[in-house]
Structure 1
Amino acid sequence: MMRTKITAWVGGAGYLLAVALLIGGAPRASGWVHGVGTLLAASLLVGVLRRAPLLALFLTLLGSTAVVVGVPSAPAHLSASDQGQFLSYLAADLVLGLVVATRARRASIVAVAGSVVVQFLVIGGFSHGPNQIADLVIALLAMAAACTVGLLGRERREHAVALRSQEVTEALIAERLRIARELHDMVAHSIGIIAIQAGAASQVIRTRPTEAGEALRAIEATSRETLSGLRRTLVALRQKEPGTAAARGQAALAPGPGLADLDRLAAATADAGVQVEVRRSGAERPLPADIDLSAFRIVQEALTNVVRHAGTGRCRVLVDYRDEELSVEIVDDGRGTTRNGSSHGFGLVGMRERVALLYGDLSAGPRPEGGFRVTARLPLPDPVGVPVEVR
């Protein structure tokens, strides 16, 4: 930081020194030499331009004006523009364009107004002959071109910022939806089972204490599992660097659920009073983590809906490993819909969102023969398999 500041100050002093040497060292040289020399000397202001564009604009206006004023007057038959001193104002115009592109609108307006006043006064005062109007028009066009380029740069920068902000907002919304789905699918199933078990235990705790004890143990096991899942979710949310060794260690200690846990899920559902028949067909094989987790959550949410809404004691889960897709079907012979005619609130919405993110297809609705069916088809990447270790 200090080195950059020193470089900027040295560059500003070097620019002023270069302008002074151009005026004093070659007083009889052509105005074109002074104009081009001043324009090249403006490259010394790069450091100042990065730190303080308004100061760089002031220095270039000062140096250009010094060249116009300090160069000896042209012969009577020549105009000052024929000598080329006004070319030095091009450096100020370039800096003006950068100020318009990067500074606040109020500062840009002040910079444009100051440049117009200085250049019009100096060019109008030192340009004589028939080319005076042309000199003023050229100066105005040069400033207008610089401001136009600066405005285009400002619009592009603001558009890029708006795009980045939109991407961040969309990413935050997507993450919030993902977390909402995870919490809903994980907690709703467990709380539903806990509520049913607690109700059963309260009814038989005096008459059948053994069954009440089993219900309470099921509540304890389900609560511990839910607490573990919540803790895993919170750890994932708190990880600032998921790729670190600590994060990988957490992932190894607490992997997410998948289709391999269907039997455990079926047992927990059976404790809530619904017997689940799990069938698997096709060539069973490892799946990508996102597909495996989404398929499990779909089955979990569908079983939760069966427990809470179907009013039946049995259901069937079919997992079909096909060549190009994974098919998951959950079927029951219960009521089909809830009493108000809707299908299971946010659960079905979460299922559709999960399937849509994986470019799959979901169908859910009452069966003609009675009951409810949920079918999800998730496309599989090609190929899907276990990598072979080369020894």
Structure 2
Amino acid sequence: MSALPGTRKPPLTAGAVLAWSGALLYPGVLFVTVTSGRFGFDQLEILASAGLTVWVLALLRRRPLPAHGILLFSWILALTEMPNGSVAGLQILLTDLAVGYIAATRPRALSISVAVVTYVLQALSVAAFVSPNGSFLITVMLAMAVTWMVGNSVQVRRAHADVMREQATAQAVTAERLRIARELHDMVAHSIGIIAIQAGVGGRVIDTQPAEARNALDAIEATSRDTLSGLRRMLTALRKDDPGTAPLGPVPGLDDLARLAEATMDAGVKVDIRTEGEPRPLPPDVDLSAYRIVQEAVTNVVRHAGTGQCRVTVGYGDEELAIEVEDDGAGGVVGTGYGIVGMRERVTLLRGEFTAGPRPEGGFRVAARIPAPAAA
């Protein structure tokens, strides 16, 4: 593809020019070293050849095919000058290593082609200048096959790790979306339920009991403000990558149950909160989820139970938190929403146990047991 008008390819850096100049000198230096070997190896030539060999192998990272081609050509040339088993063995070892690297870093079809071409050239050069027996050529073929399979297995493992990493990322995104959906449902469903009940009360008594209507409007205002603050906190969390954004307030927890009970009392349902065990700091995710479970369960009482009271029991065990919400109402008509599902998902994510259903003596019961080691 031609360059766009007015643009030029970036020039080669001095380091790249030097690197490939050394690589291009490699066949000649190796040939001279092998030629001198007929009369006794010169130490300086051996060091130069060894250094350039390492240099060319290092170039496999940037340009594996040209580097491999230079390596293969250099050792075939050396084998023509000094046809013995030592040179043939070095040729096979080094070019096989290059094929293994290509198999680990390049597409499979390309690496197979490189492996086949390399083996053919190895076999032809060894057969032409060393005159090996058949078992030696089979050994060369097996060495190439093993090297390619090792390199290919490295690539397969790397690809599998990438897939697993992508799946983990996708699962994390899905879990975060579910968490946000549950947060929105719990927050908005509870608040709108309270607001709807207070609005109905205010509408019925606005003419006959203005004071009660005013109280209902005050409760609607307070609930609306709390919900708006919660939504702002959630939107702030969604924008947490923005360095200029700061949290607008803490997330709710079990310490906020008294305020929840007060808001529910305004909706006509008295919440009796009981604590068993010694209260202690909890991990933030457990604290938030426990509050949301109580909030959703109490909201269901307000909406569906047809009773004026319910009991909330929070039990602090050594390594777990127990939550129980009971009422004596109509038996837990929980509607067709996602309240029970959301509570169950929260508890499941925390590896706890959750049950919800009618009580034998009447009413409805929601219970959860969540592993809850003390917060650090």
TM-score category, normalised to shorter length: 0.7 to 0.9
Is 1:87 equivalent to 2:90 in the alignment?
yes
Write the distance in 2 (CA, Å) between the matches of 1:115 and 1:323: 67
Q: CA deviation at 1:324?
A: 4.2
Aligned to 2:70: 59
Q: Equivalent pairs: percent with the same residue?
A: 49
Judging changes above 3 Å, is the alpha-carbon distance between structure 1 residues 378 and 7 closer, same or farther for their aligned structure 2 residues?
same
Judging changes above 3 Å, is the alpha-carbon distance between structure 1 residues 326 and 157 closer, same or farther for their aligned structure 2 residues?
closer
Q: CA deviation at 1:82?
A: 4.2
Q: CA deviation at 1:322?
A: 4.0
Write the distance in 1 (CA, Å) between the matches of 2:30 and 2:69: 19
DSSP 3-state at the match of 2:178: helix
Q: CA deviation at 1:132?
A: 5.3
Judging changes above 3 Å, is the alpha-carbon distance between structure 1 residues 139 and 36 closer, same or farther for their aligned structure 2 residues?
farther
For residue 373 of structure 2, the aligned residue among 370, 373, 381 is: 381
Aligned to 1:357: 349
How does 1:33-44 map onto structure 2 within 5 Å? Answer: 41-44=52-55
Is 1:49 equivalent to 2:47 in the alignment?
no
Write the distance in 2 (CA, Å) between the matches of 1:83 and 1:329: 80
Aligned to 2:250: 255
Aligned to 1:303: 298
Write the distance in 1 (CA, Å) between the matches of 2:84 and 2:30: 18
Q: CA deviation at 1:228?
A: 0.8
Is 1:316 equivalent to 2:316 in the alignment?
no
Is 1:100 equivalent to 2:95 in the alignment?
no
1:326-377 CA distance string (max 9 Å, x none): 3322111111132xxx676421222222223333333322112211112223
Judging changes above 3 Å, is the alpha-carbon distance between structure 1 residues 318 and 28 closer, same or farther for their aligned structure 2 residues?
closer
Write the distance in 2 (CA, Å) between the matches of 1:97 and 1:18: 21
Q: Which amino acid aligns with 2:35?
A: P
User: In terms of mean alpha carbon deviation, does 260-269 or 113-122 score higher?
Assistant: 113-122
Write the distance in 1 (CA, Å) between the matches of 2:312 and 2:46: 84
Aligned to 2:5: none
CA contact (8 A) 1:333 1:371 kept: yes
Judging changes above 3 Å, is the alpha-carbon distance between structure 1 residues 11 and 262 closer, same or farther for their aligned structure 2 residues?
same
Aligned to 1:193: 194
Write the distance in 2 (CA, Å) between the matches of 1:95 and 1:348: 60
TM-score of the two chains, using structure 2 as the length reference: 0.84
Judging changes above 3 Å, is the alpha-carbon distance between structure 1 residues 51 and 84 closer, same or farther for their aligned structure 2 residues?
closer
For residue 282 of structure 2, the aligned residue among 276, 282, 287 is: 287
Judging changes above 3 Å, is the alpha-carbon distance between structure 1 residues 138 and 376 closer, same or farther for their aligned structure 2 residues?
closer
Write the distance in 1 (CA, Å) between the matches of 2:55 and 2:93: 15
1:34-55 CA distance string (max 9 Å, x none): 9998676421124421112122
Q: CA deviation at 1:264?
A: 1.1
Write the distance in 1 (CA, Å) between the matches of 2:59 and 2:337: 61
Judging changes above 3 Å, is the alpha-carbon distance between structure 1 residues 112 and 318 closer, same or farther for their aligned structure 2 residues?
same
Judging changes above 3 Å, is the alpha-carbon distance between structure 1 residues 6 and 162 closer, same or farther for their aligned structure 2 residues?
farther
CA contact (8 A) 1:35 1:88 kept: no
Structure 2: tracts of 5 or more residues without a match:
1-9
How does 1:155-170 map onto structure 2 within 5 Å? Answer: 155-170=156-171
1:44-76 CA distance string (max 9 Å, x none): 12442111212221111121222123x16xxxx
How many pairs does the alignment contain?
364
Q: CA deviation at 1:194?
A: 1.7
Q: CA deviation at 1:239?
A: 0.9
